[in-house]
Structure 1
Amino acid sequence: MVTAASGFTRGLARPRLGAAQIVFFVVAASGPLFAIAGGISTTYAVTGIIGVPLSFVVLAPVLALFAVGYAAMSRHITNAGAFYPYVANGTGRSTGIAVSFVAVVAYNCIQISVYGLFGWSVATFVQQKTGTDIPWWLWSLAILLVVGVLGALRVDINAKVLGVVLILECAAILVVDIAGLTNPAPGDSLAPLDPANLFVTGVGAVFALSVAAFTGFEGAATYGEECRHPSRTVARATYVAIGLTGVLYTVSALAMAVGVGPSEIVGQAQQQGPGVFFGISGRHLGSPITDIVYILFLTSQFASLLSFHNAVARCFFALGREGVLPEALGRTNRRTGSPVAGSLTQSVIALVVVAGFVVAGRHPVFELFTWLGVIASTGVVLIMITVSVAVIQFFRRHPGTETSWQRLIAPALAVLLLAGVFLLIILNFGRLLGTQSGSTLTWILPGPLLLAVILGYTRGAVLRRRKPAVYAKVGGTGGVR
């Protein structure tokens, strides 16, 4: 008798991805166009600091330091769970499970947050062009269904979709950047790159928001089981992603300040938000091109939604396959190799959360997008710190051909620098949320991350005591630690 599960298996698709395709996934997750038009303009507005371009110059090397150890681990461990197998093999299985729970929360938050921004962006555009006022959540629901369907298809099809979208949005960014840089407003064009204009009170908020713009580059290892030559491909894709986004963000943040005027950028960003970026396009490139750029702004958000959806689905798959989460999540479609159970689960969670914000009457951008985005970026920095510690401990027990720079120096520097960034995020949490530091919200929003850590360690303890065979397989290793 054929059962309902006959179309599913426990393996992901055969290796179909190369370095370029993984770059499409991880850079698309960052959503360069919406990170620039929305994220960078928000950074100027929230912090009141004009040294935003320099923050990307500072942060890119810090993230590259993290990538050194991260890439070295990818040569030894290939697992769709990415972060948590690294930690499980380096620091211990219970810590690995705790990190996996934090990753599930963080990446669900950042993926779901974009539904709010997307719905608002489309509703605003349609209202401006046609006068028709359609609720933002209907657009969010429509794109949620599209992403859910694509998430169940072959991974290389998703990569092709993301590749086309990413190339178009990068072209749009370059066109607007050139317009801004070649038509400078009055003022010192190099002021945004002056350290004296970055390292001032509130610099922590700048770094926190700039880290959020990079989020996504670290997901390359998620596709390790589906790529060709993972020992080389993951490392290459990670470095390319950091380099590409670092250059795009630095140049675009500078072009925005130069095009508007360094002395005016903060005030204009506070008044116009993403309109600052599109205003440069409108003044120098005309309305038709600006409309095209805005449409690419929307497709950039779609690409980010699809990329993070795929990453979350694979995280669910890895945890279900190993028995950390319900084993049903470890199923993949036999024909496409996609983690369809994890994909469906992510879609359901997104639907519930978005519906909750709609029922509560919360704003799609200033609350849904901002609140969940801050939770996500905080969680990702915490994960990167833990992974860097795990790299050091792993190579201490398993010395190989890696240099001291790869196995110790770079990861140790990453721990110190990322810990500093994490502290700055916590100290500036109220400012990031637009609330007072003593506000109840500043204590509530980090709660899901703390709860994830507690539940992760609890789950690890339960598995170790009641299911030692399952616990022994966490992270793809043998023997109970």
Structure 2
Amino acid sequence: MSEITAAPDSVRDEPQPSARKLRGNLGVASIVFLVVAAAAPLGVIGGVVPLGLAAGNGAGFPATFIISTVILLLFAVGFTAMTPYVEEAGAFFSYVRRSLGLPAGIGIAFVAIVSYVALEAGVYGLLGPAGVAVVDLFGGPTLQWWLFAAVAFAVVTLLGYRHIELSSKVLGVLLSAEIAIVVVLDLVIVARGGDHGLSTGIINPSAIVSGSLGIGLLFAIISYVGFEATAIYRDEARTPERTIPRATYVALILIGVFYAVTAWALVSGWGDEAAVQRATDSGATFLGDTAQRYIGIVGADIITVLYFTSLFACILAFHTIASRYLFALSQRDVLPASLSRPHTKHGSPHRASLWISGVVAISVALAAVFKLDPAAQFYTWFAGTTTVGVIVLLIATSVAVLVFFGKDRRGLSQWRVRIAPAIGLVGLLGSLVLILANLDTLVGGSSVLAWVIVGLLVAAFVVGAIVGTRVRDNTVAQS
């Protein structure tokens, strides 16, 4: 590997920093749409909730979303407290660099890129079969899953090249539709009183600790992946010092309430024992079966279509996140400087976006060529990588917050900069232990693959840290 050195001052000074900065006017709502879409709410309700009911703590599983929300809100307290002191876009990379130094920051950035690109690519493995189901629903021919992935890929690449506000509007429409249909289902179940009364598992301590609470918490925590990306849109946000913290809290609370209430409603729709049994026997159709039971075949068909669009929204959201991490690294001359020059018209990281598209295209093509099962292998392997990677990012950022405010609280309260972040860190470390202990289960039962995933992330951090020692800490000036 050739030595990577900082670009000469003459190169680094051209173009001016303002020419290497993204442009936008995103408000709280727009950023919330971007990050909530990344969490793929309908995908979680249709996929993760049945798994949590079957393999986790049964009827008490909805309560794990409340626990997870509390842990992540504690993380957000310190995360948002540090936001005014991080004057560059780059999310976790920028926070860790500001507190722990450039080598650690770039190491974390490499972990972030691997994690987000892995999930963007992997979700195509769910989107393809979902597209097959939609065509089948309307009586069309049975097509290969990768054809739907290819069409979606083309649209994502186009939107990633354009202005961020276009992607935000697309995600806003798709997200509103998927949330609306699930809210309708929730209201109908509650109005009818469930199968034989509404479930009390969400508040029953014996139900919450039944079965495997650890597995339940594991599935709940990984359902929030994407919320943490609010800070990556700093350059494109309107008054980021206020917009980023508000968007972070709104996104977390919206996701948490939506997950907890909907999981509780789905359990109520069948009854505690019956819901767990049905999730165990037919988890893949659990949401659709519940919808058909309470809002009819039309409602179930609408959910089938919106499940496909939810996955598309998730892919688009992670594409925008990964592109901006690449852009942030190129601003520091870690990657070619040309990647940090936004599009003259759209103000987007168009070149970084095309790089990400190239990596994803190769991944999907290889999955098709080697005939990997799109969900059981391609998605599962890549999602396992992201799960571990994102928890590591959260932990590193929590440590960065505690170190940054360790000697000087900057006039902020002990609760905000020390107590809450410390409690959140303990919760995240516990989550990481659970994830690593059950990673082989998450990736299809292969302990070898689980170690490969951990090794890949460790290698990404080490390579990034080594690069960081050879690049001058060239802080990008803000206008």
> What's the TM-score, normalizing by structure 1?
0.91
Deviations 1:367-392 (A, max 9, x none): 22222112112111111111011111
Deviations 1:125-152 (A, max 9, x none): 3234325110001101110110000011
Give the aligned residue type for 1:412. A
Q: Distance in 2 between matches of 1:188 and 1:263?
A: 13
Matched, 1:433 2:443: yes
Show the 5 A alignment for 1:370-385: 370-385=380-395
> How many angstroms does 1:445 deviate by?
2.5
Q: Distance in 1 between matches of 2:303 and 2:119?
A: 23
1:320/1:398 CA distance change after superposition, 3 Å: farther
Range moving further from structure 2, 109-118 or 219-228: 109-118
Q: Distance in 2 between matches of 1:414 and 1:27?
A: 21
Q: Distance in 1 between matches of 2:383 and 2:205?
A: 27
Q: Is the 8 A contact 1:90 1:391 kept in 2?
A: yes
Give the aligned residue type for 1:100. A
> How many angstroms does 1:361 deviate by?
1.7
1:67/1:364 CA distance change after superposition, 3 Å: same
Matched, 1:21 2:30: yes
Identity %: 35
User: Which of 337, 349, 353 is matched with 2:347 structurally?
Assistant: 337
Give 2:146's aligned residue.
Answer: 137
1:192/1:411 CA distance change after superposition, 3 Å: closer
Matched, 1:82 2:83: no
Give 1:296's aligned residue.
Answer: 306
Q: Distance in 2 between matches of 1:319 and 1:443?
A: 28
> How many angstroms does 1:322 deviate by?
0.7
Range moving further from structure 2, 442-451 or 346-355: 442-451
Structure 1, unpaired ranges of 5+: 464-469
Q: Distance in 2 between matches of 1:430 and 1:46?
A: 14
> How many angstroms does 1:59 deviate by?
0.8
> How many angstroms does 1:326 deviate by?
2.6
Matched, 1:182 2:191: yes
Give 1:458's aligned residue.
Answer: 466
Show the 5 A alignment for 1:200-215: 200=210, 202-215=212-225
Matched, 1:103 2:112: yes
Q: Distance in 1 between matches of 2:336 and 2:408?
A: 31
Give the aligned residue type for 1:421. S
Q: Distance in 2 between matches of 1:198 and 1:14?
A: 46
Matched, 1:217 2:217: no
> How many angstroms does 1:317 deviate by?
0.3
Matched, 1:424 2:430: no
Matched, 1:112 2:113: no
> How many angstroms does 1:289 deviate by?
2.5
> How many angstroms does 1:273 deviate by?
2.5
Q: Distance in 2 between matches of 1:9 and 1:362?
A: 45
Range moving further from structure 2, 33-42 or 188-197: 188-197
Q: Distance in 1 between matches of 2:338 and 2:50?
A: 42
Range moving further from structure 2, 29-38 or 200-209: 200-209
Show the 5 A alignment for 1:19-418: 19-47=28-56, 49-130=58-139, 132-183=141-192, 184-186=194-196, 189-200=199-210, 202-396=212-406, 399-418=409-428
Q: Distance in 2 between matches of 1:373 and 1:453?
A: 18
> How many angstroms does 1:65 deviate by?
0.5
Give 1:467's aligned residue.
Answer: none
Range moving further from structure 2, 214-223 or 290-299: 290-299
> How many angstroms does 1:354 deviate by?
1.3
Q: Distance in 1 between matches of 2:55 and 2:368?
A: 25
1:159/1:274 CA distance change after superposition, 3 Å: same
Give the aligned residue type for 2:75. F
1:151/1:130 CA distance change after superposition, 3 Å: same
Range moving further from structure 2, 266-275 or 448-457: 266-275
> What's the TM-score, normalizing by structure 2?
0.92
Give 1:473's aligned residue.
Answer: 474
Q: Is the 8 A contact 1:53 1:193 kept in 2?
A: no
> How many angstroms does 1:444 deviate by?
1.9
Q: Distance in 2 between matches of 1:476 and 1:262?
A: 56
1:125/1:272 CA distance change after superposition, 3 Å: farther
> How many angstroms does 1:186 deviate by?
4.0
Q: Secondary structure at the match of 1:396?
A: coil
Q: Is the 8 A contact 1:83 1:100 kept in 2?
A: yes
Give the aligned residue type for 2:68. L
Q: Distance in 2 between matches of 1:454 and 1:98?
A: 6
Q: Distance in 1 between matches of 2:312 and 2:210?
A: 35
Q: Secondary structure at the match of 2:85?
A: coil
Give the aligned residue type for 2:230. A
Give the aligned residue type for 2:452. I
Q: Secondary structure at the match of 1:263?
A: helix
Q: Distance in 2 between matches of 1:73 and 1:238?
A: 13
Q: Secondary structure at the match of 1:440?
A: helix
Range moving further from structure 2, 450-459 or 241-250: 450-459
Give 2:11's aligned residue.
Answer: none
Q: Is the 8 A contact 2:339 2:352 kept in 1?
A: yes
1:456/1:171 CA distance change after superposition, 3 Å: same
- Between the two proteins, the alignment pairs up a number of residues equal to 463
Q: Distance in 1 between matches of 2:280 and 2:341?
A: 47
Deviations 1:171-205 (A, max 9, x none): 11101112333342247721244232333453222
Deviations 1:21-60 (A, max 9, x none): 1111111111111111122123223436332101001110
CA RMSD for the aligned pairs? Answer: 2.2
1:192/1:352 CA distance change after superposition, 3 Å: same
Q: Secondary structure at the match of 2:80?
A: helix
